[in-house]
Every structure is written in structure tokens, then in C-alpha cells.
Amino acid sequence: MKKTLVFLLIIFFTIFAITGCDGVTPPNGTEGEGEGEEAVKQVVLVETFVTNNCPVCAKLKPHLEKLASEYSRDEMILVEIIPWGIYSIPESKTRHYDWYNLASTVPHTIFNGLASYLAGSHDYSTLKNRIDAQLNIPPKVSIQANRIQNGQNSVISGTIKNIGTTTLSNMVINGMTFKRSGNLAYAATYIFEKEKVPVPALAVGETKNFSITLTDINWDGKGFDGVIFVQETTGKKRVHQSLFIN
């Protein structure tokens, strides 16, 4: 009798150890909702409007460029936009005056659109705090994209998805190329104003495919880096998400 009881107890504890206390095999962390999906993190697009002959800009730029080297491109992307003077491009002036309606002075530093904005020069800690505050905001959009070079042309194709809890509207998919120019480490060389893709509305969970063709831009030959971003066209022109493209 005692042998039978001991035998039954051994069987019971063996089953308990395998199944757990609720009698169900515990999840292995790879099954169920969200299987195969990684958490989407917010990427902060920092646009700083500067010129080469500006003493105040000269105080600001080293702090921003230091931060750009400390954060990964999956966290923060810096573009230095020159609205006039050497290294300026027509699209920079349009973005400065027409898009953001900024005063005709520099520097201005914008974090994910006008969601957060600073005028003039600021110290390292102030800039870092603005970046960290934007990083802590849950993202509403995810982006997946890749670039293919075809001679002098580049084609950027991908998808965006509304991962938030409300319908998003009045947006565009836009982008920029940038590279070192003179004493600017992240100088904008082209802004995709003509090629940007309108997104009138994007429902919760909805995805949208896009393709942007950049003609006569020798991306690889000139060693450009780039960014694709989803931005509102009204209000604070908030940038919902960005993606580094090399």
C-alpha cells in the first residue's frame, strides 16, 4: 500500500512539474498575440536651421552634433538645414519660411516638427532633455522601407502603419538627404518636396504602401545619408515617425 502511495505521489509531482500549477503548458514567449513582431520605438527627427556665418549657430552646432553621435539612428536623426548662404538649397528656404513659418533669423531647432521647438542657442543638457522627452512619447506610426540605386536614380519603397489608437489624417511621407558640407556634419542636400506622398487618412491598424523616385541624385556616388518621415501637414506639423536610410 505504501509503495503504491509513493508511486502515485511521484507521478503527481512529475505531472505538476511539467504542466505548472494551472495544469496548462506555460507560454514560451513566442506564441499568441504579437507573434514575430518587435516593439516599435519612437525615432526623433531633429531639424536645426543654421548658417555658416552665424556666431550663435556656431555655439549650438557642436552640442547637437555631439548628441547625434551619442544616440543611434534608431533613436535620433539630425539634419542641419541651411535656408540661405553657402550650402543652402531651394527646398531649405521653403521648409524654413513656407512649411514652418519661422522668423527670418537662425538658429531654430525643431524636435519632431513643432511638437517641440527652441530658438537661439542652448546648452547640451537642454537639447538632450528635449530629445529624451520625445523618445518617451509612444509612437503612432511605424515605417519600413529600403532604397535601390538605379544609375543616377534612387527608389525608396516601403510601408507605413498606424499603430496608434486613433485615425490619423492630413499627413505626408517626406524625406531628406544629407552629408558633411564644410563645417556642417549633417547638412541637408535635398528635401523631397516634389516627391512627397500625401496620406489623407490612415485608420487604426491600416497600412499604406509608398514609393518615392529621386531622379538625377547620385546617392551612392556622393555618399549621402537620408531619412524618411511621416509628418502632419496642419497644426504643429508633428513628425509621427522617422527612419534612417543609407
- Tell me the residue length of the chain: 246
Quote the pLDDT of residue 25: 34
How far is Cα 47 from Cα 109, in angstroms, rounded to an integer?
A: 6
Which residues does 108 contact at the CB level (< 8 Å), separation at least 6?
48, 49, 96, 100, 102, 117, 118, 119
How far is Cα 190 from Cα 175, in angstroms, rounded to an integer?
A: 8
Quote the pLDDT of residue 20: 43
- Spatial contact of 133 and 116, defined as CB atoms under 8 Å apart: yes
Quote the pLDDT of residue 22: 41
Quote the pLDDT of residue 16: 42
DSSP H helix total and E strand total for the chain: 5, 12
Peptide bond into 107 cis (omega under 30): yes
How far is Cα 204 from Cα 188, in angstroms, rounded to an integer?
A: 33
Full-model pTM: 0.84
Quote the pLDDT of residue 151: 85
Q: What is the pLDDT of residues 74-86, one digit of tens each?
A: 999 999 999 999 8
Quote the pLDDT of residue 2: 46
- Please state, as a whole number, how many other Cβ atoms lie within 10 Å of the Cβ of residue 44: 24
Question: Could you give the domains of the chain?
Answer: 44-245 (2.60.40.10)
Q: Scan for cell 556666431, then name that residue.
A: 55
Q: Is the dihedral of CA 50, 52, 58, 61 positive or negative?
A: positive
pLDDT along the chain (246 residues), means of 10: 48 45 38 55 98 94 97 98 93 95 94 96 98 97 95 94 98 97 94 97 98 93 95 97 97
